């Protein structure tokens, strides 16, 4: 068994998330909160300025650090717009090995643009993908280089107040309610919950599909949104895992038996819901979890390989996320034998309470109205 010195965590069972507060760090959170409040007031008072663009800009962000499902929701918006509009996605490209503005192309790597932009690039080749930590500069360059763009989706930009988006969407994890959380470093909040006023839409993500009606009401009451804000609830839908290397092939998890084994390998902020899903199938399952956006080393691959060899059963498979696949697919440390067992599992978003149509209609109508007003 690994010890705490290793960069990974071996998991036999992942429990549902809950809010953990490090009480000893509360004084530091108070200082952090003062700094955040001063910065926000400088924007509110106009001392620091926010820029509004002629092109519709939709921001998808959160109040917490990681793990709310921004990328699947960005992909939902891409599918919503891509039939009629030229869509661009602008991300900061977290943990990329490059700097400045980069316009992605077919040969871009996850090291150049980041794992999440790379994932979107491979799934949506007709979407313009760019990365830049300076979102204002990024939007300007995007519109200069790609003047036919109709709408820009900003990934993880709620705290980037130098841009004033047409629509600001905030995501919050159902399993880690922001109203029970605390500011960094005691908790995971980047900003106090009072900052929600800047959002037009709040989505509670990763909800159980069978969430009870009373839970909708409790969450709605505790969030206490303003009348101009809309609240939605979404959950993840997993489709058949796809083979990562070699010929295209899908794995039917429901056809597996107790004589088969699955090893879930993740480097995401919160793998609990995925592991709970994997455990629903008859196959024996275990998991290895690495930190979010983890760059897999030779030692990590050896750990995966050794664990894979100890799994029982004749038929054994390694399941990972699309985000992790974007990093693993270029790893020089994977043997051909291990590659043959790797599958990535696509994730999509579905809205509860039959709200897909309502949400989509609101987003589309807001963008269309903005485009008409800009043309006058």
Name beta bridge partners: 246: none
Sign (positive or negative) of CA dihedral 189, 193, 199, 203 = positive
| pLDDT above 80: residue 18 | no
Residue 310: is it exposed, middle or buried by C-beta count within 10 angstroms (0-12/13-18/19+)? exposed
- The answer to whether residue 172 scores a pLDDT higher than 50 is yes
pTM: 0.92
- Give me the pLDDT at residue 17, please: 52
Q: Are 308 and 52 in contact (CB under 8 A)?
A: no
**Under 8 Å between Cβ of 266 and 304:** no
Task: Give the mean model confidence (pLDDT) for residues 274-291.
Answer: 94
Query: Which CATH architecture describes the domain 23-237+350-375?
Result: 3-Layer(aba) Sandwich (3.40)
Tally Cβ neighbours within 10 Å of residue 85: 18
Confidence at residue 1, expressed as pLDDT on a 0 to 100 scale: 37
Q: Which residues partner with 232 through β-bridges?
A: 203
Write down the pLDDT at residue 372.
Answer: 67
The arithmetic mean of pLDDT across residues 207-230, rounded, is 96
Tell me what pLDDT residue 374 has: 67
Distance CA 45, CA 283 (A): 58
Is 171 within 8 Å of 61 (Cβ atoms)?
A: yes
Residue 90 neighbours by CB distance under 10 Å: 25
The first and second tokens of residue 37, run together, are 């409040």
| Structure tokens belonging to residue 96 | 């990329």
Q: Element (H or E) spanning 42, and its range?
A: helix 26-44
Q: Where are the chain's structural domains? A: 23-237+350-375, 240-345
- Closest Cα to residue 184, out of 77, 65, 279? 65
pLDDT in tens, 351-372: 999 999 999 999 999 999 988 6
Q: What is the mean pLDDT of residues 161-178?
A: 96
pLDDT in tens, 105-114: 999 999 999 9
Tell me the per-residue pLDDT of 321-333, one tens digit each, with 9 for 90 and over: 999 999 999 899 9
């Amino acid at each position: 068994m690994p010890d705490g010195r290793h960069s990974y965590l071996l998991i036999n069972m992942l429990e549902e998330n809950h809010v953990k507060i490090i009480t000893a760090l509360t004084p530091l959170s108070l200082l952090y909160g003062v700094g955040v409040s001063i910065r926000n007031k400088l924007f509110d008072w106009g001392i620091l300025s926010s820029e509004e663009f002629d092109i519709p800009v939709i921001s998808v962000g959160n109040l917490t650090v990681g793990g709310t499902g921004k990328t699947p929701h960005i992909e939902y918006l891409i599918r919503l717009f891509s039939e009629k509009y030229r869509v661009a996605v602008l991300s900061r490209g977290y943990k990329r090995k490059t700097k400045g503005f980069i316009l992605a192309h077919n040969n871009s790597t996850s090291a150049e643009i980041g794992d999440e932009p790379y994932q979107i690039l491979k799934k949506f080749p007709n979407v313009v993908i760019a990365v830049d930590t300076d979102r204002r500069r990024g939007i300007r360059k995007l519109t200069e280089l790609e003047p036919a763009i109709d709408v820009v989706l900003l990934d993880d930009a709620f705290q980037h107040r130098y841009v004033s988006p047409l629509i600001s969407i905030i995501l919050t994890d159902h399993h880690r309610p922001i109203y029970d959380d605390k500011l960094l470093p005691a908790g995971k909040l980047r900003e106090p919950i009072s900052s929600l006023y800047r959002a037009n839409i709040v989505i509670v993500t990763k909800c159980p599909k069978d969430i009870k009606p009373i839970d909708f009401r409790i969450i709605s009451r505790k969030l206490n949104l303003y009348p101009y804000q809309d609240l939605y609830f979404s959950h993840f839908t997993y489709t058949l895992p796809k083979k990562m290397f070699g010929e295209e092939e899908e794995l039917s998890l429901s056809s597996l038996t107790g004589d088969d084994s699955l090893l879930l390998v993740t480097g995401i902020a919160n793998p609990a819901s995925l592991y709970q899903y994997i455990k629903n199938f008859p196959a024996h399952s275990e998991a290895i979890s690495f930190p979010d956006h983890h760059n897999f080393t030779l030692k990590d691959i050896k750990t995966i390989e050794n664990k894979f060899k100890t799994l029982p059963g004749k038929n054994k498979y390694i399941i990972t996320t699309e985000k992790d696949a974007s990093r693993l697919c270029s790893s020089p440390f994977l043997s051909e034998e291990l590659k043959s067992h790797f599958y990535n599992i696509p994730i999509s978003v579905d809205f509860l309470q039959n709200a897909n149509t309502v949400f989509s209609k609101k987003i589309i109508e807001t963008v269309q109205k903005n485009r008409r007003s800009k043309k006058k």
